């Protein structure tokens, strides 16, 4: 865009329009989150001149696109900062290197890691094709880190905090939590307050059995561990899908032997298979939850949730229209109802749209900035150090963690056992992709549905997962259960052993930011008398994204 074109668009943003009848039209001012995210209030990109025979529709559409592009182009490309482990520690031991050539200790071959860095520095396809691989499995889409996105902010405009160093106290607690989760994978959530193992883990982590493996996010601590949206039947066409899942048999862990660990780390495909229960069950343990996100497509559970919320009326989860939020333009209409806009078509479409954008932002952080080591690789460093085979700069709080000691007593090694035979995916750990998608999709669900509406008739899975039992004295709001769902799906990957807590929290926040930036563009596309989107973030912050600010012309 030339300087003259930008000046023309800027003038049009700042000058009042005149409607055909001579009355001054309302102008629209823009106020975004961040460099735009500092404020919870976001406003539209500017007003459009009404479409009339004298004002071509195509010109109005162009004007809207130009304004959206100009405003988003004002966002700075954020200079993100990594935790320093890549340069401060020897042999890139604190960095992601799975799938690259490695020595007998699982340490990456220096030339291979330098090739990865050179490709990331150049961003060129040819350089990525020159990266040497280890035992055959391919890296997952590092070039997506460079992709553009034409709705909302550019993926490179977002930032997340540095991940904890492997030498830090925070990492010691996060990795200890993961070891405890591995030990507790088969304890039913309904039995937490009576389980001696859970009490032992809670005492070490400084929490209560009631709150262990949760987060201080709005709606996550209250009620059962599993969200209602992972338990209730999913309307699908003219039928329903009961949410019973194929789950692994208890105790079926992988990569707890050193020979298997080195082979999987080098990128060898798994040769062992998950032994599945022959009976499908409702989700009732951490292992079940981990398997729920093993083969899912990125926004699957959020599409399911939208279908549940859309199926309203007598005998369904809600007995009133969940779209009747205060800002919905059809809330009091006697003539119209939403469908293409403010209805089922739009909400299900937008869940997919924010997913791709969120993943592009996550991949930028994963590959271009942080390149954080995965838990299964860190487990190898712990094992080698504890057995005296190598000496790595890992804090004593982690090496001497009671969770690590309990794992050795259970498995005979200090390796961190995995739920999936293949272990972690072949892309870096920070931020978590499932968490980033969860944050983005939670924004869409809460922006469209009435998050204050109550979800009656709550249920909980029985300890054997064969039935759903009534959960007395718990009537959460839609917003609270969407939040719990977002955390469940993010943390499910921790139950599998492939992510840390900070991966989830950073990813959830990043996904929210991406979705908010997209709503800032799309809020201007309506012709209804629309007050704007409003919803509550996972941290409890209220967000308003309005289509206009009235100013006398």
Q: Read off φ and ψ for residue 365, nearest 5 degrees.
A: -70, -45
pLDDT value at position 363?
98
What range defines the domain where residue 9 resides? 3-76
pLDDT value at position 222?
94
Would residue 453 count as lying in a domain? no
Would residue 251 count as lying in a domain? no
Inter-residue contact 284 to 190 (CB < 8 Å): yes
pLDDT band at 39 (very low <50, low <70, confident <90, very high): very low
Contacts of 298 (CB under 8 A, 6+ apart): 355, 359, 433, 434, 437
Residue 46 has pLDDT above 60, yes or no: no
Task: Give the rounded percent of residues in the chain with a pLDDT score beyond 90.
Answer: 73
Would residue 68 count as lying in a domain? yes
pLDDT value at position 344?
87
pLDDT tens digit sequence for 18-34? 333 333 332 222 323 33
Would residue 35 count as lying in a domain? yes
pLDDT value at position 419?
98
pLDDT band at 333 (very low <50, low <70, confident <90, very high): confident
- The pairing of beta strand 239-241 with beta strand 468-470: unpaired
Residue 45 has pLDDT above 60, yes or no: no
Average pLDDT of the residues in 354-370: 98
Would residue 19 count as lying in a domain? yes
pLDDT value at position 188?
98
- What is the pLDDT of the chain when averaged over all its residues? 88
Q: Read off φ and ψ for residue 43, nearest 5 degrees.
A: -120, 170
Inter-residue contact 338 to 527 (CB < 8 Å): no
Residue 298 has pLDDT above 60, yes or no: yes
Residue 238 has pLDDT above 50, yes or no: yes
- The count of domains in the chain is 1
pLDDT band at 548 (very low <50, low <70, confident <90, very high): low
pLDDT band at 447 (very low <50, low <70, confident <90, very high): very high
Residue 321 has pLDDT above 90, yes or no: no
Enter the DSSP assignment of 137: P
Taking CA atoms, 66 is separated from 119, 130, 430, in Å, by 33, 39, 34
Average pLDDT of the residues in 396-410: 97
pLDDT value at position 52?
55
pLDDT band at 324 (very low <50, low <70, confident <90, very high): low
Model pTM?
Answer: 0.89
**Nearest Cα to Cα of residue 37 among 550, 549, 547, 537:** 537
pLDDT value at position 21?
37
pLDDT value at position 5?
52
pLDDT tens digit sequence for 196-224? 999 999 999 999 999 999 999 989 999 99
pLDDT band at 1 (very low <50, low <70, confident <90, very high): low
- Cα–Cα distance measured from residue 436 to residue 517, given in angstroms and rounded to the nearest whole number: 14
Would residue 14 count as lying in a domain? yes
**Nearest Cα to Cα of residue 97 among 349, 452, 373:** 373
Joined together, the tokens standing for residue 79 give 């200079």
Would residue 186 count as lying in a domain? no
Residue 323 has pLDDT above 50, yes or no: yes
Residue 552 has pLDDT above 60, yes or no: no
Residue 437 has pLDDT above 50, yes or no: yes
Joined together, the tokens standing for residue 553 give 């012309």
Residue 498 has pLDDT above 80, yes or no: yes
Residue 273 has pLDDT above 70, yes or no: yes
Residue 329 has pLDDT above 50, yes or no: yes
Residue 551 has pLDDT above 80, yes or no: no
pLDDT value at position 337?
84
pLDDT value at position 56?
85
pLDDT band at 243 (very low <50, low <70, confident <90, very high): very high
Residue 294 has pLDDT above 90, yes or no: yes
Inter-residue contact 494 to 504 (CB < 8 Å): yes
pLDDT value at position 47?
47
Would residue 21 count as lying in a domain? yes
Q: How far apart are the first and last CA of the chain?
A: 28
pLDDT value at position 2?
55
Q: For residues 330 and 515, which has the higher predicted lDDT (pLDDT)? A: 515
- The pairing of beta strand 239-241 with beta strand 234-236: antiparallel
Please report how many Cα atoms fall inside a 13 Å half-sphere around the Cα of residue 80, on the Cβ side: 26
Q: For residues 324 and 364, which has the higher predicted lDDT (pLDDT)? A: 364
Tokens 């981990």 map to which residue?
290
Joined together, the tokens standing for residue 169 give 């106290």
pLDDT band at 312 (very low <50, low <70, confident <90, very high): low
């Amino acid at each position: 865009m030339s300087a003259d074109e930008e000046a023309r668009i800027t003038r049009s943003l700042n000058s009042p329009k005149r409607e055909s009848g001579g009355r001054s039209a309302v102008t629209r001012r823009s106020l975004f989150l961040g460099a735009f995210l500092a404020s919870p209030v976001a406003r539209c990109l500017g007003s459009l001149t009404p479409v009339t025979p004298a004002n071509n529709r195509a010109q109005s559409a162009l004007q809207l696109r130009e304004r959206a592009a100009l405003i988003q182009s004002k966002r700075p490309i954020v200079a993100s900062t990594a935790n320093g482990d890549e340069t401060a520690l020897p042999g890139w031991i604190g960095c992601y290197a799975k799938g690259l050539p490695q020595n007998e200790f699982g340490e990456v071959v220096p030339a291979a890691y330098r090739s990865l860095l050179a490709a990331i520095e150049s961003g060129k396809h040819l350089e990525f094709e020159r990266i040497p691989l280890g035992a055959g499995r391919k890296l997952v889409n590092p070039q997506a880190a460079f992709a553009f996105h034409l709705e909302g902010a550019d993926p490179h405009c977002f930032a997340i905090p540095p991940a904890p160093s492997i030498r830090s106290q925070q990492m010691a607690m996060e990795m200890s939590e993961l070891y405890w989760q591995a030990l507790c994978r088969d304890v039913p959530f309904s039995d937490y307050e009576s389980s001696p193992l859970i009490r032992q883990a809670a005492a070490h982590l400084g929490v209560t059995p009631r709150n262990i493996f949760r987060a201080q996010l709005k709606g996550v601590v209250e009620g059962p561990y599993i969200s209602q949206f992972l338990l209730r039947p999913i309307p699908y066409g003219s039928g329903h899908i009961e949410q019973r899942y194929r789950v692994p048999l208890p105790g079926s862990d992988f990569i707890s032997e050193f020979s298997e660990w080195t082979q999987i780390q080098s990128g060898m495909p798994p040769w062992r298979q998950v032994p599945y229960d022959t009976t499908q069950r409702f989700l009732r343990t951490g292992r079940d939850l981990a398997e729920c996100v093993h083969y899912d497509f990125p926004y699957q559970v959020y599409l399911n949730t939208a279908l549940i919320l859309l199926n309203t009326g007598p005998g369904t989860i809600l007995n009133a229209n969940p779209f009747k939020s205060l800002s919905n333009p059809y809330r009091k209409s006697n003539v119209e109802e939403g469908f293409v806009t403010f209805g089922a078509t739009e909400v299900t479409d937008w869940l997919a749209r924010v997913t791709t954008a969120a993943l592009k932002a996550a991949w930028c952080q994963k590959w271009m900035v942080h390149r954080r080591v995965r838990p299964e690789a860190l487990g190898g460093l712990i094992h080698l150090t504890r057995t005296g085979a190598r000496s790595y700069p890992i804090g004593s709080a982690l090496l001497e963690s009671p969770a690590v000691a309990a794992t050795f007593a259970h498995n005979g090694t200090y390796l961190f056992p995995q739920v999936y035979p293949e272990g972690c995916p072949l892309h870096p750990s920070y931020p978590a992709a499932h968490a980033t998608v969860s944050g983005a999709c939670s924004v869409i669900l809460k922006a469209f549905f009435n998050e204050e509406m109550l979800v009656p008739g709550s249920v909980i899975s029985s300890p054997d997962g064969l039935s759903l039992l009534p959960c007395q004295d718990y009537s959460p709001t839609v917003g609270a259960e969407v939040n719990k769902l977002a955390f469940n799906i993010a943390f499910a990957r921790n139950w599998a052993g492939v992510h840390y807590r900070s991966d989830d929290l950073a990813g959830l926040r990043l996904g929210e930011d991406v979705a908010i930036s997209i709503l800032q563009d799309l809020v201007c596309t309506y012709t209804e008398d629309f007050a704007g989107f409003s919803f509550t973030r996972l941290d409890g912050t209220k967000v308003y994204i309005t289509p206009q600010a009235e100013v006398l012309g």
